[in-house]
Amino acid sequence: MLDLDFHPSGRHFLQIPGPSPVPDRILRAMSLPTIDHRGPEFGALGRKVLADVKKVFKTRHPVVIYPASGTGAWEAALVNTLSSGDHVLMVETGHFAALWIKLAKRLGLSTEVLAASGQDALLPEAPHWRQGVKPELIEARLRRDPEKKIKAVCVVHNETSTGALSDIAAVRKAIDVAGHPALLLVDSISGLACADLRHDEWGIDVTIGGSQKGLMMPPGIGFNALSPRAIEASKTAKLPRAFWAWDEIVAMNVDGYWPSTPNTNLLYALNESLDMLLGEGLDNVFARHDRWAAGVRTAVDAWQLPIQCADPSCHSPVLTGVMTPAGVDADAIRRLIHERFDLSLGTGLGKVKGRMFRIGHLGDSNDLTLLAALAGCEMGLKLAGVRLAASGVQAAMEHFASHAAPSVIARAA
């Protein structure tokens, strides 16, 4: 039975790959009084967050902010750029890519699913769920489309269900080399503000983001970053849209307002998040996540458990998927760890349910919170009878101790 009155002492370890732990600074910013969303104070807030958020997407073009989760922002990207029956090429890298494909089908789009092939002894039924996007497959498919029937290519930047980070610049290049006019739509819901993302430079037409991952905010804001080509496409796209329509929002955003009631307190949070991230410097933010990811992978390697993403060139800076030995239910271990150590880990989703768990290394974290999370994993794995080759906590301690954070080195200099 759920006992809502029971609160374990200390802070809960929210180690899922989003929603991520929210810094106190952001929680405090959110607690400011809600203001008149048509008043002058609000306009100033709106103009500031709309300008600053462009820096995180690395774009000069409009970024649309919705009071919605990432799923809403997925839908917005499709309905603003496409028409019923349009053919779209979507790459299945994992559960979130699969959900986006399902959503596109429900909207009446004709979806073609591209998946990396190959053998995988640990996951023979879904080898593509252990890899990133293969740009060469996209190029080959687009070359076989002389009539340019494919209207958009849809890829997930950081596949949160598996921990695979794909090379979006290479996807752009593949489309260009094939000489194809398809729009490039990128889900960077969990990549944004953890891994480098260059909306303009990489020629992305719509980048989809969410608040609850690298931005370290609670869930509730979805983003569409637009390109001039995407805006042009929206003028002739015929899929029905009203709430999601970019035109009215972009027009009112010029003065810092929205056509409907925006989520004021989440915009306070966004403002604080952007101040924190831009103050730290985006390159430092990315280096911080890379370093945490390397430390966590060191622990998993010491345990000698397989990492879900089998391609080291795609290892995610946001999360690490850990596969459990055959016959060991990863969800039972997650439940045990939650009950005993008040630590939440990400569940295996879809095709990998029960086969793996996910350790998030994003949000309000540091070396010591990550070591504590790894200690919770290690104790839980042992209690569940999983044989570990060596202590992952020890390996991660050595890794963090011998690889000082760049920000620490810079301050000491």
Shortest spacing between CB 307 and ligand PLP, in angstroms: 18
CB of 197 to ligand PLP, least distance (A): 13
Residues 145 to 164 in contact with ligand PLP, rule: CB under 6 A: 156, 160
Of 75, 92, 187, 196, the one binding ligand PLP (CB under 6 A) is 187
73, containing H or E segment: helix 70-81
Nearer to ligand PLP, 139 or 187 (CB): 187
Site for ligand PLP in 80-109 (CB under 6 A): 96
Separation between Cα atoms, residue 225 and residue 41, nearest integer Å: 25
Strand order in the sheet with 110-114: 63-66, 222-226, 206-210, 183-187, 150-156, 87-91, 110-114
70 near ligand PLP, rule: CB under 6 A: yes
A 10 A CB-CB count for 5 gives 4
Radius of gyration (C-alpha) of the chain in whole angstroms = 21
* CA distance linking residue 94 with residue 26, whole number of Å: 31
DSSP β-ladder status, 356-360 and 343-347: antiparallel
d(CA 258, CA 262): 6
Cβ proximity to ligand PLP: between 126 and 396 the closer is: 126
* Shortest Cβ 128–ligand PLP spacing (Å): 16
Which of 73, 87, 84, 99 has its CA nearest to residue 240? 84
Q: Is 59 in the site for ligand PLP (CB under 6 A)?
A: no
Nearest to 162 by CA among 138, 192, 129: 129
Q: Which stretch binds ligand PLP (CB under 6 A): 133-141, 185-193, 195-203, 390-398?
A: 185-193
Task: Pick between residue 360 and residue 380 the one whose CB is nearest to ligand PLP.
Answer: 360
Place of tokens 């608040």: 211
With CB under 6 A as the contact rule, the residue among 20, 131, 162, 190 that binds ligand PLP is: 190
In this structure, what token pair is assigned to residue 33? 């009084």
Tell whether residue 129 is a contact of ligand PLP (CB under 6 A): no
Q: How many residues bind ligand PLP (CB under 6 A)?
A: 12
Query: Of these, 25, 52, 71, 177, which contacts ligand PLP (CB under 6 A)?
Result: 71
DSSP character string of 201-235: TTT-SEEEEESSSTT---S--EEEEE-HHHHHHHT
* Closer residue to ligand PLP, CB minimum distance, 83 or 347: 347
Shortest Å distance, C-beta 1 to ligand PLP: 27
Of 47-55, 57-65, 183-191, 274-282: span binding ligand PLP (CB under 6 A):
183-191
Q: Is 189 in the site for ligand PLP (CB under 6 A)?
A: yes
User: Residue 384 CB, nearest distance to ligand PLP (Å)?
Assistant: 26
- Specify whether the backbone of 107 is left (phi greater than 0), alpha (psi in -120 to 50) or beta: alpha
Q: Is 295 in the site for ligand PLP (CB under 6 A)?
A: no
3-class DSSP assignment, residue 21: coil
Give the containing element (helix H, strand E) for 45.
helix 40-57
Q: How many whole angstroms separate alpha carbon 16 and alpha carbon 13? A: 9
Task: For ligand PLP, give the closer residue by CB, 69 or 344.
Answer: 69
The yes or no reply on residue 221 touching ligand PLP (CB under 6 A) is no
Residue 210 near ligand PLP by CB under 6 A: yes
Closest CB 406 distance from ligand PLP, rounded Å = 27
- Looking at 49-57, 66-74, 169-177, 273-281, which segment touches ligand PLP (CB under 6 A)? 66-74
Q: Closer CB to ligand PLP, residue 108 or residue 219?
A: 219
What minimum distance in Å lies between the beta carbon of 236 and ligand PLP? 27
| Contact pattern for ligand PLP over residues 15 through 54, marking x by CB under 6 A | ---x------------------------------------
Smallest distance, ligand PLP to C-beta of residue 61, A: 22
| Interatomic CA distance for residues 165 and 293, integer angstroms | 12
Sign of CA dihedral 213, 217, 220, 222: negative
**What are the DSSP calls for 164-195, one per residue?**
EE--HHHHHHHHHHTT---EEEEE-TTTTTTS
Residue with Cβ nearer ligand PLP (71 or 110): 71
**Nearest distance from residue 9's CB to ligand PLP, in Å?**
29
Cα 173 to Cα 207, 326, 328, 359: the distances in Å are 17, 39, 42, 32
For ligand PLP, the closer CB: 160 or 324: 160
Q: Which residues bind ligand PLP (CB under 6 A)?
A: 18, 69-71, 96, 156, 160, 187, 189-190, 210, 219
